[in-house]
Amino acid sequence: MDRQSYIQANQDRFLEELKELLRIPSVSADSSFKEDTIKAAEYIKAKLIEAGADNVELCETAGYPIVYGEKIIDASWPTVLVYGHYDVQPATPYELWTTPPFEPEIRDGKIYARGACDDKGQVYMHVKAFEAMMQTNTLNCNVKFMIEGEEEVGSPNLGPFCIANKEKLKADMVLISDTSMIANDIPSIDVGLRGLSYVEVEVTGPNRDLHSGVYGGAVANPVNVLCDMISSLHDEDRRITVEGFYDNVLETSASDREAMAKTPFDLDEFKNDLGINDIQGENGYSTIERTGIRPTLDVNGIWGGYIGEGAKTVLPSKAYAKISMRLVPNQTGEEITAKFEKHFNKIAPPFVTVKVTPHHGGNPVLTPTDGAEYQAAAKAMATTFGKDPIPTRGGGSIPIVALFEAELGLKSVLMGFGLDSDALHSPNEHYGLFNFYKGIETIPYFFQYYREMK
C-alpha cells in the first residue's frame, strides 16, 4: 500500500487516538492535574512504541518527564529531532466552553478540546506520520522525538536536559509543529518567534485593608496606584516607556517590511473574528508588524481588594498584576526583565512599595530561509497544498527554540499547521481535521526532501 492510501485507510483510527490523548487533562500549570499530565506522557510513549520507535523512554526531570524515542536507520542519513509538547494551558473558566474542554467533540470539521491545536493535535500528526512512514517503508531520515510537558510553563527543565544530553540529542536540525499558518488555502511558515519576559508585580500601601470611608482620600490606594503605574508604561504613540526598552531592537529593513506588507491580511476579518470595532497598537506599524517584528507589554491579569459577591467598602493594602513583554531580536529575556524591574521601582511613588518577581522568559529567534531545513519544509508544503508557503513572523513564543541553537547548535524549522483563529489558550480551542490530516500527509515529504537537499 502506498503511504497516502495507508493514511486514508487509517484516518478514523488516527482521530480516535488523538481524541484519547485530548481526554487527558495535562495542565502543567496546575498541580492538581499532576497525575493526568504524567498519563499524557505515558500515552505518547506507548504510541511511539506502537508506531515503531526504539529506545522510547520517559526521561525524568525535576518537573514533568520528557518523552524520548528514536529511529536510527542509517548513520549516513540526516537526523531530524522532532520537538513538541504534551502539556496544555488551563481550560478555565469551563463555563465558557460549548462542550467540556477534555471531552473532545467534532463540529463542522473541527475537533474541539483544550490542546487540540496547541500542541497535542500537532504532536500527534508527527507520531502518525512516523507510523505511516514505518508501515510503508518510506522513512529516509533518522528521527529522534523529544516531546516535553512543560512548554506552557516556560520549559524550566528542558534547557538543563538538553545541556546534559547533548550526545543523545545529536541531530542535524529540529522540526517543530507548534505554530500557525495564514489560512488553509494560504500556507505559511514562521521564520521568527518572539521572546518573552514575564513578571509579577506587587504594590503595597497601608499595612492592612482599611475602611474606604474612614481613610479614603487620605491614604494612597495601591490598586489605583498600580493602574496609574501601568498606564504610564505606554506613551501616546503606544511605545513602551521602560527605560532602554528599545535599545537592542533590531530594526527591520525597508525591503523586509515591503515583503511583509505583501503578506495576505484581512483587517475586517481580523476584527470580526475578535468582535472588536477597531485595533490599537504602536504608531507607524501595520498589524502584521505589530505582532511580528515589534515588542509589546501586556497585563495578563490584575487583582487586589474585594472581588467577591456584592460590595465591600475597602481600601486594599495590596494590588498585583502579571505582566508579559514579547521580545524581538536582539532583545533578551534577562535584559528586559532587569530593565523592567529597575524602571518599575523607579516610577513607584513614595506612598507605596513595590516588588517585582520574574517568572519565566525566553529569547526571540529568527530562522534562516536559505538552508535545507526551510527549503525542505517549503517544498513539502508546496507539494501538499499546491502552492508555495509564505514566510511569516510568529507573534508567540517557544522559549526553548533559542536554546536549541545556542546549546545544541541546531537550527529549527517551524512547520506549523494551526490557524491563529483556532482559539489557542482560549475557550473552545479547536483544530481542523483538514489541518490534522494535511500535517500527516506533509511531514513525510519534509523528511524526503530534507534528505535530498541536505
Q: Give 59's strand partners.
A: 66
Which residue ranges make up the site for ligand BES (CB under 6 A)?
118-119, 151-152, 154, 178-180, 193, 196, 360, 394, 396-399, 424
Cβ nearer to ligand BES, comparing 196 with 443:
196
Least distance to ligand BES from the beta carbon of 407, Å? 17
Q: Does 429 bind Mn ion (CB under 5 A)?
A: no
Tell which one of 118, 131, 373, 420 touches Mn ion (CB under 5 A).
118
Residue 387 CB-density burial (10 A; 0-12 exposed, 13-18 middle, 19+ buried): exposed
User: Which option in Mn ion, ligand BES, none does residue 22 bind, with CB closer than 5 to 8 A by kind?
Assistant: none
User: Rounded to an integer, what distance in angstroms lies between the CA atom of residue 371 and that of residue 382?
Assistant: 17
Least distance to Mn ion from the beta carbon of 146, Å? 14
Q: Strand, coil or helix: what is 38?
A: helix
Q: Given its phi and psi angles, is residue 186 left (phi above 0), alpha (psi -120 to 50 degrees) or beta? A: beta
User: Which option in Mn ion, ligand BES, none does residue 360 bind, with CB closer than 5 to 8 A by kind?
Assistant: ligand BES
Least distance to Mn ion from the beta carbon of 259, Å? 26
Contact 240, 290 (CB under 8 A): no
Least distance to ligand BES from the beta carbon of 316, Å? 29
| Helices marked H in 52-86 | none
- What does DSSP say about strands 173-176 and 296-304: parallel, antiparallel, or unpaired? unpaired
Contact 242, 248 (CB under 8 A): no
The dihedrals phi and psi of 51, each to the nearest 5 degrees, come to -75, -15
Q: Which residue, among 352, 364, 295, 282, has the nearest Cα to 324 in the 3D structure?
A: 295
Q: Which residue, among 403, 320, 423, 391, has the nearest Cα to 361 in the 3D structure?
A: 403
> What are 378's three cell numbers?
517549503
Least distance to ligand BES from the beta carbon of 117, Å? 8
Q: How many CB atoms lie within 10 A of CB 163?
A: 13
User: Which option in Mn ion, ligand BES, none does residue 25 bind, with CB closer than 5 to 8 A by kind?
Assistant: none
Q: Which residue is nearest to ligand BES (CB)?
A: 396
Cβ nearer to ligand BES, comparing 22 with 139:
22
Q: Which stretch binds Mn ion (CB under 5 A): 53-61, 115-123, 164-172, 317-325?
A: 115-123
| Helices marked H in 55-198 | 120-135, 158-164
Least distance to ligand BES from the beta carbon of 96, Å? 18
Cβ nearer to ligand BES, comparing 51 with 176:
176
Alpha carbon 300 to its chain centroid, in Å, reads 15
Cβ nearer to ligand BES, comparing 179 with 252:
179
Q: Does 148 bind Mn ion (CB under 5 A)?
A: no
Cβ nearer to ligand BES, comparing 141 with 158:
158
Cβ nearer to Mn ion, comparing 119 with 373:
119
The label of the residue with cell 513607584 reads 348
Contact 205, 351 (CB under 8 A): yes
Q: Which stretch binds Mn ion (CB under 5 A): 96-104, 113-121, 191-199, 262-270?
A: 113-121
Q: Does 119 bind Mn ion (CB under 5 A)?
A: yes
Least distance to ligand BES from the beta carbon of 441, Å? 21
User: Rounded to an integer, what distance in angstroms lies between the CA atom of residue 165 and that of residue 144?
Assistant: 13
Q: Does 178 bind Mn ion (CB under 5 A)?
A: yes
Cβ nearer to ligand BES, comparing 64 with 449:
64
Cβ nearer to ligand BES, comparing 154 with 222:
154
Least distance to ligand BES from the beta carbon of 198, Å? 7
Degrees, nearest 5: CA angle 365-444-109: 85
- Where does this chain bind Mn ion (CB under 5 A)? 118-119, 178
